[in-house]
A = this chain, B = another copy of it.
């Protein structure tokens, strides 16, 4: 059994998220347990300066409702990746195309703790404008302006 760890905010779930998670699971091979860390509201607020639209419990429940996901957990309040990695003991940590900061943090933890999991960054799928929560939000806001 290979444990693959992925993470994200997943504020407005879209097809790009699912492709990312499916790709993460595929990397682990046939017998893979995909564990997904869903960022806490507090973490999003601190890192992005805005509240997520959907509260953390619902974001977590939606991710765990996906076929491809074996377990979805809320991140620690202080986004302590070190503790997450020690708890999940992943064989592979998959980092999204827009998660460079997380990738660097994971790399640092790996070195500091002399762990031997693999870190794999997944490239973006296509050029689709709707494979991004912020682009979806922009489209909603623009639609409202046009109508008002």
A12 at the interface (CB under 8 A from B): yes
Q: Which residue of B lies closest to A51 (CB)?
A: B143
Known: A65-B67, A141-B141. A130 touches B14 (CB 8 A): no
Q: Using Cβ atoms and an 8 Å threshold, which residues of chain B touch A62? A: 13-15, 18
Give chain A's interface residues, CB within 8 Å of chain B: 12-15, 18, 50-51, 53-55, 58, 61-62, 65-68, 130, 136-137, 139-141, 143-144, 147
Instruction: Please determine whether B15 and A12 come into contact, CB atoms closer than 8 angstroms.
Output: no
Min CB–CB distance A64 → chain B (angstroms): 8
Chain B residues in 8 Å Cβ range of A14: 54, 58, 62
Given A55-B130, A66-B66, A18 contacting B140 (CB threshold 8 A):
no
* A50 and B143 within 8 A (CB): yes
Complex CA gap A14/B13 in Å reads 8
In the complex, the answer to whether A53 meets B18 with C-beta atoms within 8 Å is no
Assembled-state Cα–Cα distance A67/B21 (Å): 14
A68 to chain B, nearest CB (A): 7
Q: Which residues of B contact A147 (CB under 8 A)?
A: 50
A127 to nearest B CB, angstroms? Answer: 14
Q: Which single residue of chain B is at the shortest CB-CB distance from A16?
A: B58
Residues of B with C-beta under 8 A to A130: 53-55, 58
